[in-house]
Amino acid sequence: MTRIGIVGGGRAATLHAEAALATSGVDLVGVGGRPGTAGPLAEAAGVPDLPLEELAARADGLVIAIAAGAAEAVVDRLPPDLPLLVESPVRLTADRPTAVTAVNLLHASTVKQGLRAVADLGEVHHLALRGRALRREHATDLFAEPFAGAWPVMLMAAASAAVSISATWRGQQATARIVLSDGHSATASLEWVESGPGEHASAAFTEMEAASATGVVSIGLWPRPTLEIDGSPVASADDHPLVALGFIEQMRRFAAVCDGRSEPWPPLGVGIGVTALTDAAGRSAAEGGAPVVV
């Protein structure tokens, strides 16, 4: 049984806790990190709300599911060899060999199938990410909130590193053009909508489209992974949201990392790189769309 602890008590921590409780071979030993900050989650999950050092001592690996700005100070207090699953966006200055980035969508079977279909297209001449989300309280970065998990999927589809990004941000809408190392480019069009009487969860979506001379692949990422190849929907057998969105498979893979049965994937560098990309987009937008090297 792999012992997992979760640092945090908010929405992301709750999803990881639900995944841990639903994953065979995983024992959720506690939540929190700061006593009193995760009481409702601890009660709902039936586990103790523990201080960070005790949580780390009880666990084979920790999920870091707190605000990005607070994660570095927390991680610095943890043993360097303790496996970590760090929620995006990742704002850490150094990589850790046993740490992985929490990108549940990369573990979702429908998304993985879609990425294989994109790879089969050959030379992709069109790659675009689109998203709309209800603006969360205190959200300040449209490029990352809540789209941080979508960028790794697009970069995986591109199969090429980002070189520079040009971005604009007007009101509640942002656009970006990414130049890739293979000479191609990708685009993103993102927007917030304010929560109100006329807005609800169904207004939110995130999707990606890739096209080549031989075909088109469309992958829906939120609220549930979907796949279309050349306009024809591909059926998915993933019924439970935690399964469909990749949380269960991500937890299973992380448990294998903790036990030494699997190499860390995706590495922490993926999350750090995505943060560098979204930060560069923000700088570009502040400079009127001037290209910024990633």
Same structural domain, 99 and 232: no
Same structural domain, 38 and 142: no
Tell me if 16 sits within 8 A of 5, measured CB to CB.
no
Q: Is residue 41 part of a domain?
A: yes
Q: What average pLDDT is seen over the chain?
A: 94
For the entire predicted model, the pTM comes to: 0.94
Q: Is residue 242 part of a domain?
A: no
Same structural domain, 141 and 213: yes
Q: Is residue 87 part of a domain?
A: yes
CB neighbour class for 73 (10 Å; exposed up to 12, middle 13-18, buried from 19): exposed
Domains in the chain, number: 2
The whole-number average pLDDT for the span 60-74 is 93
CATH number at residue 224: 3.30.360.10
At 69, list the tokens.
């700005």
pLDDT digits (tens, 9 = 90+) for 43-64: 999 999 999 999 999 999 999 9
Same structural domain, 25 and 93: yes
Containing structural domain, residue 169? 106-237+275-293
Same structural domain, 85 and 154: no
Work out the number of other CB atoms within 10 angstroms of the CB of residue 281. 29
- Name the band, by pLDDT with cuts 50, 70 and 90, for residue 250: very high
Same structural domain, 131 and 198: yes
CATH number at residue 25: 3.40.50.720
